[in-house]
Amino acid sequence: MTQTDFIVLLPVLVLAGWALVLLLVDLFVPAGRKALTGWLALVGPAGAVLALTLWPNGGALTGFGGMLAADGFAVFLHLLFLGSAALIILLALTYLPRAGIERGEFYVLLLLTVSGMLLMAQAADLIVVFLALELLSIPLYILAGFARPRLSSEESAMKYFLLGAFASGFFVYGVALTYGAAGSTNLNAIVTAAQTGLVQGAAAAQALPVARSLLVAGAALILVGLGFKVAAVPFHMWTPDVYEGAPSVVTAFMSVGAKAGGFAALLRVFVTAFPGLAPQWASLLAILAALTMIVGNFAALRQGNIKRLLAYSSIAHAGYILMALPAAGSSFAAQSDYAVGSALFYLLAYALTTLGAWAVVMAVERQEGDGLALTDYAGLAARRPGLALAMALFMFSLTGLPPTAGFIAKFSLFRAAIDAGYLWLAIVGVLTSLVSAYYYLRVVVLMFMRPGAAQALARPTLDLAVGVTALATLLIGLLPGPLLDLAQRSVLTLTR
Amino acid sequence: MDSILQTNLLSLILFLPTAGAVLLLFFPRDQVGAIRWTAFLISLVPLGLSIYLWTQFDPAQPGYQFVESAPWFSVIGSNYSLGVDGISLPMVLLTTLLTPLAVLFSFSVSDKVKAYMILFLLLETGSLGVFLALDLLIFFVFYEVGLIPMYFLINIWGSANRQYASLKFILYTMTASLGLLLSTQIIGLTLGNFSIPNAAEFWPKLTGSFFGLTAEGLRVAAFWAFVVAFALKVPVWPLHTWLPDAHTEAPTAGSVILAGVLLKLGAYGFLRLVLPLYPVESAQFAPWLAFFALMAIVAGAYASFGQTDFKRLVAYSSINHMGFVVLGVAAAAATRATANAADGIIALNGAVLQMFTHGLSSAGMFLLVGVIYDRTHTRNLEEFGGLFPLAPVFGGILLFTSMGSLGLPGLAGFVSEFMVVRGAWPVFTVFTALAMLGLLMTGAYILKGIYKSIYGPLNQKWVGHHLEISTREVIAIAPLLVLMLVIGVWPAWLVGVINETITRFMAG
Amino acid sequence: MTIELVLFFLLAVVAIGAAVGMLLSKNAVHSALFLVLNFATVAFFFLFLGAPFIAMVQVTVYAGAIMVLFLFVIMLLGAEQLRQPSTVLPWQPPLTVFLAVVFVGAAWLYFANAGPGSLAAPPPFATAEAAGAFGSPQAVGQTLFQTYVLPFEITSFLLLIGMIGAVVLTRDDKKR
């Protein structure tokens, strides 16, 4: 391990290492005071952010023989993952004791899944992508069942595990086919193989033609595997049940972290390794994106449970982000970079808004999974005007109304799609956004207009999380410039 | 101080209401009196500034004035840029004038005062932003931002059927603006930025092929997307059905802003974007526009006559009056840069003036309906009758405002409608002639409103009730009456500002 | 046809038969034993490919250690006998067969019609030494602990997480 390898891996090392320390420390924390473990867990993300500062500013590093990249793309996503993790820890501090499931392992597993996400953003080799995917997923399977022996939580964990394992199978099969065709699992080597048409690793004298059909089949299987993770139609079936059954704080992290992790891999793998195949996968992905937007939004219309509603909403948003992929497959570097930058920005806006919305859900949720029906939000504005206002802001942002972060993100994404020639996709996006306005605004209507006895918990950490996300949602909506620039610059150093 | 006034005057006007709203956030909610007065005083500041703006504005100077520009969304070429010309300036003045009046009138609101005042101030920023924007994206953002406070105003402080009305309002307008959003995207993509002056110069000249369409085809598609979005807001028949519901259910001050300012956003969209960006298409489709305007005038008037709900009657009258604005726009579209431009100039002057005067008269009418509803808790015309002796001051003001709305010579409405009709006559003779028949119906419904309320046999039910208008309400409505009279007899101060810009524009 | 090819096809039949037997067996212990047989035949394939070390690893790790664990768990849980197949989704088995046939057909068509090189032989080794070194303990060790040290270490984390998960999901809290 050279010094460069070390620096490239340092954020993950810090986080995973701290998780191990925490596992040990937790043994000595008495049962009633597990909040201490939670507060200590915050050191992990903070340390990882510090480790990020060691990365060269603007340039790109690779480590472990090209398996890991440390570029702007990874920095942007690292900040997203670490920030989300910190918010989730804040939320868990109040949620876990109330749900009666306060155990120190929660924080350990959370940090471990985050380290999987970090690896996902950095992985430049299909084997590392696969392992990062597992590192991301397995702790989440366990966390989904954290509210054991509540049946719905166990069911959630079981479903998530079985379908996740199934998806991993597809992914590995895809990796195997790709390796068979290209002769390497390294993303750069695969792109070279696709460009030169020669299998990598063979001696020059015995140059072998790349089995293009094998490469396409491999890419398709990888798409299926990652499609499960980001909950894209038709691989979305698990989402509502899993989201509903898992403890809310876990669901919140799933809907943000696991999705962003999946998209990190999708973007890096498809934009880096398979640009030569773009004609084959771009139109397919465009159709998937359209289907995902349509199914997610229309199914959300009928939901009466806030967790299921947000689950379908997360499917719908996966569809919006998927729009960036066909655009990113454009042969013009500028269009492609813009699309990737828009996807990153969308992920950020989506993460902030969704985390905020989940924080409100956790504030309203009562013990034992009670207080999750939409009708439990009736009259919230009268009792907790600040909380209701924040929730309204999140709903507006998810709909994509100005002046919120969601609007800028959607606008940017639609532009990327139109620019790359997918006008019809942008039209589908706009129309489904309109559909989404109906169910998002219904929450707002309930909170502000209907009489009711909605109650919500008030705790400093909860209020802090809601406040931070609400402020960020609004601020990014008003002054998107700096962050958008950052997202756009992040892409230029994506390994090519 | 002087330098900030010079360089950032428009930003000050635009964001002072928001700053005020943020300030109100820190007031304890039970300090109702302080909240009301603070909101009122804050809303007076933009009014003062826009009067100052008016005095500093030089009509003879071409182009936009007091321009401000800063990068906002630089990756895609969107700038925060503001500016005023002779079309937007009267609208800014109207908005900053109506907001304090609406706030003053709303002192009678006692439920959730803090939220109410905050929403009003935010609404003012939203509307002003549309009038001041020189960037398509900024324009769109403010266009949408105005929706949210209005939605809440109707939904929380509206009357019985407010749920339905507010939802209809927001769904209709949002649907229509989706096309606007896509077209804005396309313009931004093809031109590389969102600047309105830039788009007015290059977008009509665009040639080539984009996204599988020719530039011409793209323009026609985008033209209709713009027209639908703005026509719905104006509203033009047959897209008007949201308006009577929204108006009827909105709280009085909400109706005032809705009729006085928000409807103008649609008409302003026609003037600022549709005409300059689509000269060929708008000339080509001008007869259609004129037809829809005619339908709005006639159908609005007939529908208004058929109402028994006083507020609904006034609401439908807005459709009727705004029809004249669109008729003026259509006449201008047909004659721009032709030999008949002089007629178009008159019609367009009339249209802008009509936007202003309708803002005054409809605001006044809604205030008055609000006054009587406040006292009697009914808006049913059949339950009124002969109220003049019970409320002579109110009756007098109602009579005056109605006459202004009707278009009595000597009051504001007459000047503007006359100009539109005069300008449109040579261009769309048949349509204009039919529209004048609609004008007859205008007289009929206004007279019906007056007759059923203050004249006719006295409804004994109200004897002994205190129905008279209060001093505060008189103060709120007085500036409107004064302006209606002033414009009626001496429109030159306003037309002078409008005319210069329009003449330059109509030259092509 | 060489002797190797004959052996290959013989073993292939055994391998597939063992896999099918594992799936269809009603007794979990039998299933596990079928799996052992399958792993063992795969080990023979590695031998044919000139990779005796990998063949041995296959036998010790899969056929040996992992299968012992499997059997251990099966017996511990007393899950030797499978319950009657559930009839919740009676249309599922025929549909599965149908889709499997469709999939195989589609894959066949796809690769049969694909361009050159689609089913080409793997790249031959450049030298005899390279061929001899392939799959040797030294080569595997170097690949595993130098080139792929990062994936190797990540895998160790995965195992740790599996242990934590097992504890978290099975531990009885005192209050319950």
Whether residues A418 and B145 touch (CB distance < 8 A) is answered with no
Residue partners of B307: CB distance under 8 A and separation at least 6: B313, B316, B381, B445
Interface test with A, best of C154, C159, C175 (most A CBs within 10 A): C154
pLDDT band at A20 (very low <50, low <70, confident <90, very high): very high
Q: Which two tokens stand for residue A165?
A: 């394992």
Residue B132 is assigned to a structural domain of this protein: no
| Percentage of chain A exceeding pLDDT 70 | 95
What whole-number distance in Å separates Cα of residue B39 and Cα of residue B17?
9
Whether residues A217 and C110 touch (CB distance < 8 A) is answered with yes
Phi-psi region of B385 (alpha: psi -120 to 50; beta: other; left: phi over 0): left
pLDDT given for residue A133 in this prediction = 93
Residue of A nearest to B191 (CA): A419
CA-based nearest distance A425→chain C, Å: 29
* Of the listed ranges A273-277, B122-126, C146-150, the one predicted with least confidence: A273-277
pLDDT given for residue A369 in this prediction = 64
pLDDT band at B471 (very low <50, low <70, confident <90, very high): confident
Q: 3-state DSSP call for residue C88?
A: coil
Residue C104 is assigned to a structural domain of this protein: no
Higher pLDDT, A398 or A487: A398
pLDDT given for residue C68 in this prediction = 83
pLDDT given for residue A354 in this prediction = 94
C126 pLDDT above the threshold of 80? no
Residue partners of B473: CB distance under 8 A and separation at least 6: B105, B367, B371
Taking any CB pair shorter than 8 Å as contact, residues of chain A touching chain B are 338, 341, 385, 396, 401-403, 407-408, 411-412, 414-415, 418-419, 421, 423, 426-427, 430-431, 433-434, 437-438, 441, 445, 448-449, 479-481, 484-485, 488
Averaging pLDDT over each range in A417-426, B341-350, C154-163, which range is the top one?
C154-163
Residue of A nearest to C123 (CA): A202
pLDDT given for residue A103 in this prediction = 87
Q: Which two tokens stand for residue B423?
A: 């300008």
Specify whether the CB–CB gap between C53 and C140 falls below 8 A: yes
Which residues from chain B sit within 8 angstroms of residue A408, using beta carbons? 73
Which residues from chain A sit within 8 angstroms of residue B188, using beta carbons? 415
Residue C145 is assigned to a structural domain of this protein: yes
Q: Which two tokens stand for residue A100?
A: 């009666």
Domain with B299 in it: 285-508
Residue B61 is assigned to a structural domain of this protein: no
Specify whether the CB–CB gap between A168 and A137 falls below 8 A: yes
B1 pLDDT above the threshold of 60? no
Nearest to B351 by CA among B327, B320, B335, B318: B327
pLDDT given for residue A4 in this prediction = 85
Q: Residue A418: which of B156, B174, B185 has the nearest Cβ?
A: B185
B486 in A contact zone (CB under 8 Å): no
Q: Which two tokens stand for residue C8?
A: 């290959």
Residue B478 is assigned to a structural domain of this protein: yes
Which residues from chain A sit within 8 angstroms of residue B178, using beta carbons? 430-431, 433-434
Residue partners of B92: CB distance under 8 A and separation at least 6: B13, B50, B53, B84, B128, B131, B132
Q: Residue A418: which of B115, B156, B186 has the nearest Cβ?
A: B186
Average pLDDT over residues B120-132: 89
pLDDT given for residue A83 in this prediction = 93
Whether residues A131 and C147 touch (CB distance < 8 A) is answered with no
Number of domains in chain C: 2
Pairs across A and C, CB distance < 8 A? 92
Which residues from chain C sit within 8 angstroms of residue A199, using beta carbons? 123
pLDDT band at A496 (very low <50, low <70, confident <90, very high): very low
pLDDT given for residue C78 in this prediction = 73
Neighbouring chains to B with at least 3 Cβ pairs closer than 8 Å: A
* Of the listed ranges A154-168, A219-233, A327-341, C141-155, the one predicted with least confidence: A327-341
Average pLDDT over residues A198-219: 70
Whether residues B167 and A441 touch (CB distance < 8 A) is answered with yes
Indicate if C72 and C135 belong to the same structural domain. no
Q: Residue A135: which of C124, C158, C165 has the nearest Cβ?
A: C158
Indicate if C138 and C75 belong to the same structural domain. no
pLDDT given for residue C129 in this prediction = 66
pLDDT given for residue A290 in this prediction = 93
Residue C123 is assigned to a structural domain of this protein: no
| A118-155 residues labelled b (16+ CB within 10 A) or e (exposed) | bbbbbbbbbbbbbbbbbbbbbbbbbbbbbbbebeebbb
pLDDT in tens, A182-194: 888 888 888 888 7
Residue of A nearest to C114 (CA): A213
CA-based nearest distance C67→chain A, Å: 20
Neighbouring chains to C with at least 3 Cβ pairs closer than 8 Å: A
CA-based nearest distance A218→chain C, Å: 12
A237 pLDDT above the threshold of 60? yes
Residue C87 is assigned to a structural domain of this protein: no
pLDDT given for residue A357 in this prediction = 93
Answer whether the bond into residue A149 is a cis peptide, omega within 30°: yes
* Of the listed ranges A391-395, B124-128, B147-151, B204-208, the one predicted with least confidence: B204-208
pLDDT in tens, A254-278: 999 999 999 999 988 888 777 777 7
Residue of C nearest to A185 (CA): C148
Residue of A nearest to C162 (CA): A138
CA-based nearest distance C133→chain A, Å: 16
Specify whether the CB–CB gap between B463 and B391 falls below 8 A: no
Whether residues C157 and A210 touch (CB distance < 8 A) is answered with no
pLDDT in tens, A434-466: 889 888 988 888 887 777 777 777 888 888 889
Residue of B nearest to A483 (CA): B73
pLDDT band at C119 (very low <50, low <70, confident <90, very high): low
C176 pLDDT above the threshold of 50? no
What whole-number distance in Å separates Cα of residue B261 and Cα of residue A183?
67
Which residues from chain C sit within 8 angstroms of residue A214, using beta carbons? 111, 114, 118
Average pLDDT over residues B398-422: 81
Residue B253 is assigned to a structural domain of this protein: no
CA-based nearest distance A480→chain B, Å: 6
pLDDT in tens, B71-91: 887 777 788 888 888 888 888
Residue B252 is assigned to a structural domain of this protein: no
pLDDT given for residue B373 in this prediction = 83
Average pLDDT over residues B488-504: 83
pLDDT given for residue B306 in this prediction = 83
pLDDT given for residue A149 in this prediction = 80
CA-based nearest distance A234→chain C, Å: 17
Pairs across A and B, CB distance < 8 A? 80
Q: Residue A402: which of B141, B162, B170 has the nearest Cβ?
A: B141
pTM attached to this predicted model: 0.83
pLDDT given for residue A380 in this prediction = 84
What whole-number distance in Å separates Cα of residue A63 and Cα of residue A59?
13
B18 in A contact zone (CB under 8 Å): no
* Of the listed ranges A340-344, B387-391, C150-154, the one predicted with least confidence: B387-391
Predicted complex: ipTM over 0.95? no
Number of domains in chain B: 1
pLDDT band at B382 (very low <50, low <70, confident <90, very high): confident
C82 pLDDT above the threshold of 70? no
Whether residues B182 and A437 touch (CB distance < 8 A) is answered with no
Residue C116 is assigned to a structural domain of this protein: no
Residue C122 is assigned to a structural domain of this protein: no
Residue C114 is assigned to a structural domain of this protein: no
Residue A290's CB: how many other CB atoms inside 10 A? Answer: 21
* Of the listed ranges A160-169, A480-489, B39-48, the one predicted with least confidence: A480-489
* Of the listed ranges A197-211, A373-387, B281-295, the one predicted with least confidence: A197-211
pLDDT band at A50 (very low <50, low <70, confident <90, very high): very high
Residue of C nearest to A104 (CA): C168
pLDDT in tens, A112-139: 999 999 999 999 899 999 999 999 999 9
A425 pLDDT above the threshold of 70? yes
Whether residues A142 and C169 touch (CB distance < 8 A) is answered with yes
Whether residues C148 and A127 touch (CB distance < 8 A) is answered with yes
* Mean pLDDT computed over every residue of chain B: 83
Is the pair C, B in contact (3+ CB pairs within 8 Å)?
no
**Domain stops at, among C80, C107, C122:** C80
B187 pLDDT above the threshold of 70? yes
CA-based nearest distance A53→chain B, Å: 25
Domain with C140 in it: 131-176
Indicate if C73 and C139 belong to the same structural domain. no
B28 in A contact zone (CB under 8 Å): no
Whether residues A212 and C114 touch (CB distance < 8 A) is answered with yes
Whether residues A65 and C162 touch (CB distance < 8 A) is answered with no
pLDDT given for residue C116 in this prediction = 52
| Percentage of chain C exceeding pLDDT 90 | 15
Interface test with C, best of A214, A216, A250 (most C CBs within 10 A): A214
Residue B69 is assigned to a structural domain of this protein: no
Unique residue bearing structure tokens 């009085």: B252
Residue C163 is assigned to a structural domain of this protein: yes
pLDDT given for residue C128 in this prediction = 65
Residue B62 is assigned to a structural domain of this protein: no
Nearest to A381 by CA among A325, A449, A469, A434: A449
Interface test with A, best of C157, C160, C169, C170 (most A CBs within 10 A): C157
A54 pLDDT above the threshold of 90? no
Whether residues A109 and C155 touch (CB distance < 8 A) is answered with no
| Percentage of chain B exceeding pLDDT 90 | 0
What's C13's domain CATH number? Answer: 1.20.120.1200
A109 pLDDT above the threshold of 90? yes
Which residues from chain B sit within 8 angstroms of residue A467, using beta carbons? none
